[in-house]
Amino acid sequence: MIEISLGKMVLLALIALIVLGPEKLPAAARTAGALMRRVRSGWDNVRAEVERELEIEEIRRTARDAAARAEAVQNELKDGLTKVHEPLGQVVAEVKAPVAAESAQALESTEVPEEPGASMQAELPLGEPPEKPAGGSPHEHN
């Protein structure tokens, strides 16, 4: 803003008194005061708006920097996980290969047993109930 010292203000007041005269000077002073308030208010509003914009830009810049750092950390974590997963995948593959081969050999060498009772059902003719064994069981009561 413009800085006006006390000496400059007195000089301006004397010039205004000479130019305007004592009748118009109070009205001119009020008008000048109102004009100065408007100018100062407008200047303060512009300054506040610029400061808000600068703060917003600073926040955006900080957010972009934080996002870039987060992405860099995420990429480092992915790289680290990849470095860990590759050897583990190889170990798992090496362990699974012999186990799968042994399982396949075990399945080929053994026959799959039939379900219990499947052979009995196949021997019975349809519609006839199974016969009771001769002699009965000791738990049977007549």
Q: How far is CA 115 from CA 28, 49, 54, 57, 98, in A?
A: 115, 86, 81, 77, 30
**What's the total number of domains in the chain?**
1
Residue 5 located in a structural domain: no
The whole-chain average pLDDT of the chain stands at: 79
Residue 57 located in a structural domain: yes
Q: Which residue has the higher pLDDT, 97 or 86?
A: 86
Residue 56 located in a structural domain: yes
Reported as a single tens digit per residue, the pLDDT across 19-76 is 888 888 888 889 988 999 999 999 999 999 999 999 999 999 999 999 999 999 999 9
- Judge whether residue 126 has pLDDT over 80: no
Residue 123 located in a structural domain: no
Whole-angstrom distance, CA of residue 11 vs CA of residue 19 = 12
User: Which structural domain, as residue segments, surrounds residue 97?
Assistant: 12-104
- Judge whether residue 114 has pLDDT over 70: no
Q: Which residue has the higher pLDDT, 73 or 2?
A: 73
Residue 53 located in a structural domain: yes
Residue 66 located in a structural domain: yes
Tokens of 27: 């009205």
Residue 65 located in a structural domain: yes
Q: How far is CA 141 from CA 103, 130, 138, in A?
A: 51, 19, 8
- Judge whether residue 138 has pLDDT over 70: no
Q: Which residue has the higher pLDDT, 46 or 89?
A: 46
